[in-house]
Each structure stands twice: as C-alpha cells, then as structure tokens.
Amino acid sequence: MDTSTVGERTAEQPSPIDRIEHAQAHELVVDQIRRAIQLGRFLPGDRLPAERDLAGLLGVSRATVREAIRVLEADGVVSVRRGAHGGLVVNRLHAMDTRTLRARLKKQARELNDIFDYRLVVECMAARLAAERRTDEDLVYLGEVLERMAELAADPGGEHGAHITAQFNAADTEFHLGIASAAANPYLIEGAEKMRRAMFLPVGAVFSQLRTDANDIHAAIFDAIKDSDADAAEHHMRQHVEATRKAMADLLKPAGDA
C-alpha cells in the first residue's frame, strides 16, 4: 500500500480550519455604522452622532472614527457637510433607470433568490415560534410598529415617495426583527438581521416608491401571532416572502410581458 500521500491535502480539498483575517479597528466601526443604516436605525438624510459621540458609543478613538468616516464617504454611504446644519449625513439612494436596474438584478438574480430562500427558512420558523412564545409585551410592540406601517402605507408620499419608502422599510425591518425576538431564539434573531442587511441595497435601489401591496399581509401575520395560531403565522409569512420575491422577479421582465 502506497502511504506517501496519506495526510497530504490536495488542492481541491477545503481546509478544515479557516484562515484568520485580522480586521482593523476602523473596519469594525465601518461595519457597525453600515449595520445601523441597513437596519433603518438611520434613514437617508439623517445626521449621525458627532465624531466624539461615535467614538464614545463604539469605545474607540476619534482617529479610528475619522478613518471609518473616510471609508464610508468614499463608498458614497455618508457625506460630511459643513456649517451649523452640517455633520455626518446619510446619503440618499438614487433610483436606477430601468435598463440599469434590470441589468443589476439579472447579475444578482442567484444571490437574490438565495436570500429569499433564506428568508423562507428563517422567517417562517420565526413566525411559527412567535405565535407559540410571544408575550403581551411582544404584541404591544408589534402592534405599534404595525400601526406605523399602516400610516405610511396610507400615504405613499407623492414627490416624497422615496422618503416614505425609506421610513416604511425601516418600520418593516423592526416588525420582522420584532417577530424574531418574540420567537425567543437568538439564532433566529441573528439570521433575521443578517437577511434584512442583505436585502438592504437591492430593495433600496429598486423601490423608490412604496408598492401598493407593500403592507397587505403584515396584519394577517400579526393576527395569527396574537391568536397563537402557529400554522397561520407560518402560512402568512410564506405568502409575504413569496409575494416580495415575485415583485422582484417581475422587475426582470421586459416591458409589455405578462
């Protein structure tokens, strides 16, 4: 028996241990600020805390914050404005023209489909467990967020549509994260947050106006959770995710296609 290759690893075999990547402090700050923006904690046009306050909140030096700001500014995420009403401001997303939009979505089609598959796994189970485990406090919180979403959906915004959409998306994120929290499983909370962050850029770049059906199924999800009906909660969440997937897929169709 030839044992010369025993213990050797071929190029095709993955390593059982991943290589350690050292992240610099400012990169961690960049990720935290991106996270807050992607989860809707800061909306387009909002001012972030001052440099000194950010340093205190994040437990880093002001020099580290300044380096992070330079990265975010170069990436077009924020702008530094001067003057009495200046500061660090979250940039607004600009809607893409139809041709650019379709080209980008087609390029990201596999990634987007994977995200929706992930949503089905995480959010349907979160809704089911939320119906079984929710507390009265969870219901109060979800009800307040749902009411806010209904107010925004009732007034799409006209010329202020992009701002209304950003506000609705932020409330929508809080609603879905609130369901994950009511499920009382930290892994589901982490998964739901990861999914919302992954959806941020595609959705933000696509929907500059609030869709007329954007709030159609949220109330049904809430009612099922309130009634402790796990089957209905999972069913309505699946409907909601698949409806959003279809809305994205429809944007890929050439004009005039059914």
What's the number of domains the chain is made of? 2
The residue ranking higher by pLDDT, 217 or 247, is 217
Least confident of 82-86, 119-123, 229-233, 244-248: 82-86
Q: Are residues 177 and 81 in the same domain?
A: no
User: Of 42, 74, 90, which one is at a domain's C-terminal end?
Assistant: 90
45: left (phi over 0), alpha (psi -120 to 50) or beta: left
Residue 9 lies in a domain: no
User: Of 63, 90, 117, which one is at a domain's C-terminal end?
Assistant: 90
pLDDT exceeds 50 at position 237 = yes
Q: Are residues 244 and 214 in the same domain?
A: yes
Least confident of 100-104, 204-208, 211-215, 242-246: 204-208
Residue 3 lies in a domain: no
Per-residue tokens: 74: 């170069």
Q: Are residues 55 and 152 in the same domain?
A: no
Residue 258 lies in a domain: no
pLDDT digits (tens, 9 = 90+) for 152-209: 888 765 556 677 888 888 999 999 999 999 999 999 999 999 988 887 765 555 555 6
- In this predicted structure, what is the pLDDT of residue 123? 96
CA 25, distance to chain mean position in Å, is: 24
Per-residue tokens: 13: 């075999």
Q: Are residues 206 and 79 in the same domain?
A: no
- In this predicted structure, what is the pLDDT of residue 6? 47
Return d(Cα 5, Cα 158) in angstroms, integer.
69
Closest CA to 113 of 221, 237, 199: 199
CB atoms within 10 A of CB 136: 7
Q: How far is CA 58 from CA 49, 62, 102, 159, 228, in A?
A: 11, 10, 38, 37, 39
Q: How far is CA 126 from CA 147, 184, 189, in A?
A: 21, 9, 8
Q: Are residues 120 and 160 in the same domain?
A: yes
Q: Which CATH number do you get for residue 157?
A: 1.20.120.530
Per-residue tokens: 121: 């796994």
Residue 16 lies in a domain: no
3-class DSSP assignment, residue 112: helix
- In this predicted structure, what is the pLDDT of residue 177? 96
Write the DSSP symbol of residue 255. Answer: T
Q: Which residues pair with 89 in a beta bridge?
A: 47, 79
pLDDT exceeds 50 at position 7 = no
Task: Write down the pTM of the prediction.
Answer: 0.79
pLDDT digits (tens, 9 = 90+) for 82-120: 877 778 899 876 655 556 666 777 777 888 889 999 999
The answer for residues whose C-beta is within 8 angstroms of residue 114's C-beta and 6 or more apart is none
Q: Residue 65 sits in which domain range?
A: 25-90
Contacts 24+ apart (CB under 8 A), 138-144: 138/178, 138/181, 138/182, 138/225, 139/225, 139/226, 141/178, 142/175, 142/178, 142/179, 142/182, 142/222, 142/225, 143/222
Q: How many residues make up the chain in this entry?
A: 258
Residue 1 lies in a domain: no
Residue 20 lies in a domain: no
Q: Which CATH number do you get for residue 77?
A: 1.10.10.10
Q: Are residues 159 and 236 in the same domain?
A: yes
Q: Are residues 163 and 81 in the same domain?
A: no
Q: Are residues 236 and 110 in the same domain?
A: yes
